[in-house]
Amino acid sequence: MPERVLLAVALFGVPPLVGLLLARYRRAGGELRLRLIDVLVPLGLAVQLVQVLPRSTSLAVGYALLIAWAAIRTATTRGPARLAFATLLLGGLLNAAPVLLNGAMPYASSSTHLGDGLKGVRIDDHTLLPVLADVIPLPAGRFMSVGDIVLALGTMLTVSLVLPAAPRGRRGPAHATPRRT
């Protein structure tokens, strides 16, 4: 179990942390504003994870919400943020294609045990688009996909643009001390 925790931290914690560092060293300006449409992100993730519907339906609805959000944000945003959202859109599409065509994310396995059970099916001769499946080896016998890598990059870029940039200039208190004359 500790290997799964470390892997989860690496996959889901490192990209936002790198985004935080990028935001810290980015020049002022260009911060993104949250919009009502952004509620689709937690909703899309929740639909996939909670799975009140059959597994394939939950995954399809979740991916549809997330891809719709990324497409709308890509179309309605300018500058570097457009690239960040387009990267998320591309990663989502790269992951959605094999999931929707196979009913779940296909995965490679070097062991005899089944995947994590959440959304995986073992790759076989009938798997469609196996190149987009979870085939990139990770520690602890796990695998990730090209879409996961693109999503991590998009997450890093988006987080770095959402947070306010660090102020430039002298280091010290945020307020100026008045001079006595």
Query: What are the pLDDT digits (tens) for 82-113?
Result: 999 999 999 999 999 998 898 888 998 764 44
* β strands within the chain, DSSP E: 105-107, 120-122, 136-137, 143-144
Query: With bands split at pLDDT 50, 70 and 90, how would you rate the model's confidence at 166?
Result: low
- Amino acid occupying residue 114: L
Q: How high is the pLDDT of residue 38?
A: 87
Q: How high is the pLDDT of residue 21?
A: 75
Tell me the pLDDT tens digit for each residue of 15-30.
Answer: 777 877 777 676 655 5
Query: With bands split at pLDDT 50, 70 and 90, how would you rate the model's confidence at 124?
Result: very high
All residues at 6 or more sequence positions from 52 whose CB lies less than 8 Å from its CB, including other chains = 58
When divided into structural domains, the chain yields a total of 1
Question: In the beta sheet, which residues pair with residue 136?
Answer: 144
∠ CA(73), CA(76), CA(77), 5° rounding? 80
Domain range enclosing 156: 2-162
How many alpha carbons lie under 13 Å from residue 46 in its C-beta half-sphere?
5
SS3 125: coil
Q: How high is the pLDDT of residue 110?
A: 62
Asked whether residue 171 is domain-assigned, the answer is no
- Amino acid occupying residue 142: R
Asked whether residue 180 is domain-assigned, the answer is no
Asked whether residue 167 is domain-assigned, the answer is no
Cβ 80 vs Cβ 32: under 8 Å: no
Sign of the CA dihedral running 165, 171, 172, 178: negative
Q: How high is the pLDDT of residue 133?
A: 94
Asked whether residue 168 is domain-assigned, the answer is no
Cβ 69 vs Cβ 44: under 8 Å: yes
* pLDDT > 70 fraction of the chain, expressed in percent and rounded: 73
Specify the DSSP element, H or E, that contains 21.
helix 2-25
Lowest mean pLDDT among 46-55, 101-110, 151-160, 165-174: 165-174
Alpha-carbon distance of 170 to 112, in angstroms, equals 59
Is the per-residue pLDDT at 49 higher than 90?
no
Alpha-carbon distance of 169 to 151, in angstroms, equals 34
Asked whether residue 172 is domain-assigned, the answer is no
* Over residues 120-136, mean pLDDT: 92
Is the per-residue pLDDT at 73 higher than 80?
yes
Terminal Cα distance for the chain, rounded: 66
Asked whether residue 142 is domain-assigned, the answer is yes
pTM > 0.85: yes or no: no
Asked whether residue 6 is domain-assigned, the answer is yes
* Over residues 158-176, mean pLDDT: 62
